[in-house]
Chains A and B, each alone.
Chain A
Amino acid sequence: MPRIPRVRGLSSLQATIAPSCAANRTPFAARAALSTSARVQGKNTEWIRGKLWKGEAPGPADPYTQRMEPEEVSNLPAEAREVQSYAEYPTPEAVEQSRLVLPPRRTEAVTEKELQSLDPSYVPATELSGLEQIKPLQTWWQQPGHWGQESEFRGFAAGKVEDKSVVELYLRRAVIETLALQEAGLLNEWAAKKWPAGERAELDQTLAVEIVVQDGKATLKGDLSAITGRLTSEVEETELAERVSADEAQEIVKAWDASWKEVALNDHYLKFAIRKRVYQLTGRLIPDSKLGAARTAQHLLTLTVNPAKRGKKLAEVLETQSNLSALSNVKVHSRKVGPIDKEIAIGRWKVIEEELSKRGLPVTGTAGLAKNKERDWLSGRA
């Protein structure tokens, strides 16, 4: 603070000549000229520095007036400049090859003057409505074109089959296919791989194979090599062909002899492969816990057609039992007894409800209001 009022503190010549105010920033050329003059000034004071240090003096010649080299000036805000340094790294290969439409890299817009030399037809906007609207990055995946149908999850199995005879038809197909692979000795290798769903003609071809069961052992009669060849060929993914209709399936199933269902399935690989194929074709999955106990194709069919139901809740069981509900001193609730239920039981709830509505307060919940802050203020937590 200056001792004499109305008189400013002594400022250096440099400061008075070149004000560092951002509003009237000096051009680069002018700054360069100033810095050279400062160096010249430094040479004049070299002799006194030499005397003071008795030899070569360390540090810059004039630490107060010498200016730093001007940096590259960017119009971007600080956080954008930080991100730009990341942008120098190359894009990872996985990102480049991705089918997803990724947000573009951040670039600095050219200035108006530079743009005029590039594109003379450019007219700057004078109103807000003239500016291009860009949605924020947060909503990138919600914007059209960035998350298409190709990116949506497609499950291994298509929709669930409801009809019993359709399930039976596809189960027979799965049994024939797996047995054919087993005979060819390819099952262990192909059990865990995805088999092509196949067209309608292929389905008919597979079902044409006869299963002859003798003492639980099955022998297939038909063209097995065609089936195994189709299953083990690397075919591109195709959409699942239209399923057989219920009426048609009923007719086909009726024509078969029921003895094919007695085929013994004791091999784990076999059961796993059949279950997987049935799931792929019908969308019905046999639970692991039930699969272990299944021994024949008939067992698998019952497990597929009648899926496990939810066990009864205790309250439901007690409802059917008369010995507990008949007692006058016992009350069975099917639902959790909450504070409101307790108030209702003693007849106080209607009074509470009335008083709350009289005061315009919410009967249940907090009506979206925040919790009490005063307690936090008093305890010094907030």
Chain B
Amino acid sequence: MTIKAIRAVATGQNGVGSFILQCKKLDFHYCDWAGSSKGMNGFIKSLLPKFATANPQVEFAISPRPGKHPVIIGHYINGRTKPICVRNLSPYEILKKAELLRDANGEQLKRHNRAVTSNKPSVRGIWSPYHGKGMVV
């Protein structure tokens, strides 16, 4: 089940609130025979136990896919999935990809040109003391 946001205006909590990880599940697919899965098999054996222990809020599923390149698929609470092919990668490179998927929010990649993205941008812009007439104290 995907989680959908409640259609209500969020009340500002001044940074006091719970953090919800957007990634809910990670699928690890490997092949027993193929050479491109060598790194993936090593990763599952050696690095995955630690990674899975460190991320108890994420569900991990490990299953073989014979005759296919190894792949990690991230499932997110917005209902989207992100697959990354990890063929011929070393275990540590695969760990980086797994971290990338864990930290992603599930949205499609977008270019952010500004520091702040607002739902209701101000018409007047940000106030500055150096512009206009200045204040008489």
Contact = CB atoms under 8 A, between A and B. Distances in A.
Contacts of A318: 44-45, 62
A318 B62 CA distance: 10
Contacts of B60: 327, 329-331
Contact of A314 (B32, B55, B56, B57): B32
B52 A324 contact: yes
Question: Chain A: interface residue count, which band?
Answer: 10 to 19
Contacts of A324: 44, 48-49, 52, 62
Interface in B21-70: 30, 32, 41, 44-45, 48-49, 52-53, 55-66
Given A314-B45, A327-B49, A333 B56 contact: no
Interface centre among B32, B61, B63 (most CB of A within 10 A): B63
Interface residues of B, number: 21
B59 A329 contact: yes
Contacts of B61: 330-331, 333, 337
Given A332-B62, A336-B65, A337-B63, A314 B41 contact: yes
A316 B9 CA distance: 51
Contacts of B32: 313-314
A315 interface: yes
Contacts of A333: 61-64
DSSP majority for the B interface? Answer: mixed
B26 to A, nearest CB: 10
A54 interface: no
B52 A336 contact: no
Contacts of A327: 49, 52-53, 56, 60
A317 interface: yes
Nearest to A315: B64
Contacts of A321: 45, 49
A335 B63 contact: yes
Contacts of A313: 32, 64
Nearest to A326: B49
Contacts of A337: 61, 63
A321 B49 CA distance: 10
B27 to A, nearest CB: 8
Nearest to A337: B63
A329 B58 contact: yes
Contacts of B55: 329
A334 B65 CA distance: 10
A323 interface: yes
B64 A323 contact: no
Contacts of B45: 314, 317-318, 321
Interface string A180-200: 000000000000000000000
A376 to B, nearest CB: 30
A55 B66 CA distance: 88
A319 to B, nearest CB: 11
A336 B64 contact: yes
Contacts of B57: 329
A337 B52 CA distance: 20
A327 B48 CA distance: 11
Contact of A336 (B48, B56, B66): B66
A349 B136 CA distance: 75
Contacts of B44: 314, 318, 324
A323 B52 CA distance: 10
A287 to B, nearest CB: 17
Contacts of A334: 64
Given A329-B56, A331-B61, A331-B62, 11 more contacts: A314-B32, A314-B44, A318-B62, A327-B49, A327-B53, A329-B55, A329-B60, A330-B62, A331-B60, A333-B64, A337-B63
Interface of B: 30, 32, 41, 44-45, 48-49, 52-53, 55-66
Interface of A: 313-315, 317-318, 321, 323-324, 327-337
8 contacts: A317-B45, A324-B48, A327-B49, A329-B55, A329-B59, A329-B60, A335-B64, A337-B63
**Which 8 residue pairs are nearest across A and B when measured between Cβ atoms?**
A333-B63, A323-B49, A330-B60, A337-B63, A324-B49, A332-B62, A313-B32, A331-B61
